């Protein structure tokens, strides 16, 4: 029996102060959020400062795509440099630092990954067709397909802990493109690597019977 899945991502485009506009970070070292704390498409968070903040760590607190609490420590960048979170956030509830900082902003860069789609990797005659579909209008976007061999359904699994591999041929594509898996990973996902507007979809069609 075949299985079909379409994953569509429409993140917020690059905006360095989408979450918090420029301000000085002083004790207790918390950024004032601008009320933009919820994302329809969970995505990465960026931090930018006017001074070298590579010696301190910023803690982003929020929730993941499933509503679970998540946080991460992000080492600051050099002057005028932007650093990007590893995790995708559905909400951001606080961003704190470990020292004073000048003209800090928090925002997004338009990048994100979808949740993992588990394949029937135990099935016979495994074969998966993959198709990228770009509906960008006047926008611009690039995307890749990624996979993992870890059990993403195991209790306590966290997306950020997965060992991630990029598909051999579906890498940083900017127009409709197709490919396949002939050897089974456990799960795959869509990764948006650049974006301005529109939507990017991944169609997954799997053949083979279960075992």
Residue 138 has what pLDDT?
95
In the block, tokens 């559905």 appear at 90
Distance CA 167, CA 185 (A): 11
pTM: 0.93
CA dist 109 and 15 (Å) reads 6
Tell me 171's DSSP state. S
80-84, 124-128, 129-133, range with the lowest pLDDT: 124-128
Count of residues making up the chain:
211
Beta strands, E only, the chain: 3-9, 15-25, 38-43, 46-48, 57-63, 69-75, 82-84, 89-96, 101-108, 112-113, 117-118, 124-135, 141-148, 165-166, 177-181, 187-195, 199-209
Asked whether residue 85 carries a pLDDT value surpassing 50, the answer given is yes
Region 14-39 average pLDDT: 90
Which residue from 34, 159, 16 is spatially nearest to 94, judged by alpha carbons?
34
Beta strands across the sheet bearing 199-209: 3-9, 199-209, 124-135, 177-181
Q: What percent of the chain has pLDDT over 70?
A: 97
Does the pLDDT at position 27 exceed 50?
A: yes
């Amino acid at each position: 029996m075949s299985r079909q899945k379409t994953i569509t991502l429409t993140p917020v485009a690059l905006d360095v102060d989408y979450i918090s506009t420029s301000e000085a970070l002083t004790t207790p070292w918390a950024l004032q959020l601008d009320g933009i704390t919820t994302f329809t498409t969970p995505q990465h968070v960026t931090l930018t400062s006017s001074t070298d903040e590579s010696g301190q760590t910023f803690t982003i607190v929020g929730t993941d795509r499933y509503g679970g609490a998540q946080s991460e420590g992000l080492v600051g960048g050099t002057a005028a440099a932007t650093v990007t979170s590893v995790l995708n956030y559905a909400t951001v509830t606080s961003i704190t630092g470990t020292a004073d900082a000048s003209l800090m902003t928090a925002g997004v860069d338009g990048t994100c990954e979808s949740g993992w789609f588990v394949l029937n990797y135990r099935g016979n005659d495994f074969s998966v067709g993959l198709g990228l579909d770009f509906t960008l209008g006047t926008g611009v976007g690039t995307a890749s397909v990624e996979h993992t061999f870890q059990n993403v359904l195991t209790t306590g699994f966290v997306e950020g802990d997965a060992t991630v591999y990029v598909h051999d041929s579906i890498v940083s594509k900017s127009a409709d493109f197709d490919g396949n898996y002939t050897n089974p990973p456990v799960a795959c996902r869509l990764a948006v690597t650049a974006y301005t507007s529109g939507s990017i979809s991944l169609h997954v069609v799997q053949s083979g019977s279960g075992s």
